[in-house]
Structure 1
Amino acid sequence: MSTDLLDAELAGSTSDLVLIVDDVPDNLSVLHDALDESGYTVLVATDGASALQRARQAHPDVVLLDAVMPGMDGFEVARRLKADPETAGIPIIFMTGLTDTEHVVAAFAAGGVDYVTKPIRTREVLARLAAHLHTARAQRQARNALDAFGHATLVVRERDGRRIWQTALARELLARYFADVPDPAMPAEVLAWMTREALRRRAGAEAMGLTIARAARRISFVLHPMTGEQANEGDWLIVLREESETTLMQSLALAFPVLTARESEVLYWVIQGKTNRDIGDILGTSPRTVHKHLEHVFEKLGVETRTAAAALALGKLRHGGGDLGG
């Protein structure tokens, strides 16, 4: 099927999309007909290479994957799907006549969530599909919700520093801030922070984020341990958030409505550790004028020092969900 035809077919479909991978035409035919009659949209592939291509292009909701195929077998296909952040989240159900323990273990080690044995029983396949599609749909909705609220999220494997899962927003932000780092690799400075933070977290220390500035914008990273049945040791969840100086100054103005716009700007730069001379240069005014603004800020906030003003502002913003980390 051509790319244009495939895109057109998928665009008009609202049903769950299943990719079947098997080198035996009779198996494909039986499964295709059963799934089609049950309301699924079905794609097929007869070898590993085409399976990888179609999975990356179509993003199926689940893959039914034959374990034993000539050339690239199903285990290798699964490993490659799981190594690619574009396809890592797709559940894989193996189809195999190999019921020995070592082959079942190999299927799960390669990234499979389940397996069915040959000869295929279509009712069993449909039942397994329904169960895993429900879970996959919930995970997809969770990823979309995270992006919608500006919480770009990704999962990084500690042992090799690779992204094994990410939301669309996380991929976009990393590409924008670290254009020279190819997906699924992670920027060296973020990995170094993650390694240090992982050691601290295992020792019971509180979370300490990372903030990286790019001109007037900045991106922050917070590390969280993975939890739940699907969590693997050494996998960490990282939440990203992008902020700009303009947005943060607006947050200050909302947090302290008694301040004028210029006073909010001055307070922002105080939080960043700037001197009166530095702030004057940034705002195009004199240090003396900055000092006057600061006197008004201190009076309105009920504090007497720069340190107290900065601490009050940071506490207010963090309590309200903001972040001014420098």
Structure 2
Amino acid sequence: MRNQAFDRHASLVVLIVDDVPENLAVLHDALDESGYTVLVANNGAAALERARQTIPDVILLDALMPGMDGFETCRRLRADSATRIIPVIFMTGLTETEHVVAAFSAGGTDYVTKPVRQSEVLARIGAHVQTARLMKQARSALDAFGNAVLAVTPHDGRIVWQTPLARQWMQAYFGDDGDAATPAALAAWLAGLGAGAAPQPLTVIRGAARLVFNAPDMRSGEQWMIVLREESDTARVQALMALFRLTQRESEVLHWVIQGKTNRDIGDILGMSPRTVNKHLEHVFEKLGVETRTAAATLATNKMRSSG
């Protein structure tokens, strides 16, 4: 048996975790002959490291191992945003109800009993891998259309899964906290929603950019889908220029009018006199076909929303 190097895209990857070499050898050969790329680990710590490095398509996990057992290993896999969506199939000789419940409580997807029947293992792996792949494709499709989404459990705000784009933004705005756990600002916002607060967006600011969280549907008691949108002053100015054929200065003035700034405020921000700001604003009114600041802000905001 060899712990082979592999091409991650060549075949489906299975990680087997068992402290008994004979068990590893039998399963390795059966899966290898069936076309899977097989990785192995003989303890919980090694399994966690291997899973995070390679993100296998499914994990076969022995329930009883010295040191960190399979139940604790699974709990740690589920606590890590990088590995929590991987299907975990427990292998156990423990068929009592309490042990089956423990496996599922730890986050297990399924279980098979020892001695393991190869045909059963292959059938279970095939079913769970197919489901996981379909879910992964759906999440990637969300990203492809510019929709960054994460799912959280309502009762504790734990992030269950997130699309690649959502993970990228979470890490950019929250650093390591955005990958390991639910950041404090997001957790507080989710707790407020769970307490019945009106679903107002959460905005996290980083320099000139903003990450906006929305909860469009909170009817499910199992998972809430949170939609993320990144905004920036530069992107808004460019959008206003394209939508209304404004000059860059006119777009910048309109952008800050939308933010509720006065002419004096805008002058301070853009480095011009309030009188010059007013001149630009007159041109904006003419191009938008409106007569007031409120009308200009409302029209521009609605147009950007509909075009997005």
> Normalised by the size of structure 1, how large is the TM-score?
0.86
Q: Deviations over 1:13-44 (max 9, x none)?
A: 51000001112222212211111011000011
**Counterparts in 2 of 1:173 and 1:31: CA distance versus 1, 3 Å:** same
One-letter amino acid of the counterpart of residue 85, structure 1: S
**Counterparts in 2 of 1:217 and 1:138: CA distance versus 1, 3 Å:** same
Distance (whole Å) between structure 1 residues aligned to residue 203 and residue 136 of structure 2: 28
Q: Deviations over 1:82-115 (max 9, x none)?
A: 0111110100011112222222121111111111
**Counterparts in 2 of 1:52 and 1:14: CA distance versus 1, 3 Å:** same
| Alignment match, 2:237 | 249
Stretches of structure 2 lacking an aligned partner (at least 5 in a row):
none
> Normalised by the size of structure 2, how large is the TM-score?
0.90
Distance (whole Å) between structure 2 residues aligned to residue 225 and residue 51 of structure 1: 36
| Alignment match, 1:70 | 66
Distance (whole Å) between structure 1 residues aligned to residue 67 and residue 205 of structure 2: 47
Structure 2 SS opposite 1:274: coil
Q: In the alignment, which of 297, 300, 308 is matched to residue 313 of structure 1?
A: 300
One-letter amino acid of the counterpart of residue 249, structure 1: V
**8 Å CA contact 1:61, 1:136 repeated in 2:** yes
Q: In the alignment, which of 285, 290, 293 is matched to residue 298 of structure 1?
A: 285
Structure 2 SS opposite 1:98: coil
| Alignment match, 1:52 | 48
The correspondence of residues 8-47 of structure 1 with structure 2, limited to 5 A, is 9-11=5-7, 14-47=10-43
Stretches of structure 1 lacking an aligned partner (at least 5 in a row):
322-326
**Counterparts in 2 of 1:23 and 1:180: CA distance versus 1, 3 Å:** closer
**8 Å CA contact 1:163, 1:184 repeated in 2:** no
Distance (whole Å) between structure 1 residues aligned to residue 213 and residue 82 of structure 2: 21
**8 Å CA contact 1:161, 1:185 repeated in 2:** no
Q: Deviations over 1:101-153 (max 9, x none)?
A: 22212111111111112221111111111111111111222233333444333
Q: Does 1:98 find its partner at 2:94?
A: yes
| Alignment match, 2:247 | 260
Q: Shift of the alpha carbon at 1:232?
A: 6.2
Q: In the alignment, which of 64, 68, 78 is matched to residue 82 of structure 1?
A: 78
The correspondence of residues 155-304 of structure 1 with structure 2, limited to 5 A, is 155-179=151-175, 181=177, 183-200=179-196, 207-225=199-217, 233=222, 235-257=223-245, 259-304=246-291
**Counterparts in 2 of 1:128 and 1:241: CA distance versus 1, 3 Å:** same
Between Structure 1 and Structure 2, how many residues are aligned? 308
Structure 2 SS opposite 1:90: coil
Structure 2 SS opposite 1:10: coil
Structure 2 SS opposite 1:192: helix
Distance (whole Å) between structure 2 residues aligned to residue 57 and residue 43 of structure 1: 11
* Aligned Cα root-mean-square deviation (Å): 2.5
**8 Å CA contact 2:154, 2:221 repeated in 1:** no
Distance (whole Å) between structure 2 residues aligned to residue 225 and residue 12 of structure 1: 36
Q: Shift of the alpha carbon at 1:182?
A: 6.2
Distance (whole Å) between structure 1 residues aligned to residue 113 and residue 37 of structure 2: 23
**8 Å CA contact 1:164, 1:184 repeated in 2:** no
Distance (whole Å) between structure 1 residues aligned to residue 148 and residue 305 of structure 2: 18
Distance (whole Å) between structure 2 residues aligned to residue 53 and residue 209 of structure 1: 36
**8 Å CA contact 2:155, 2:194 repeated in 1:** no
Distance (whole Å) between structure 2 residues aligned to residue 224 and residue 75 of structure 1: 35
One-letter amino acid of the counterpart of residue 220, structure 1: V
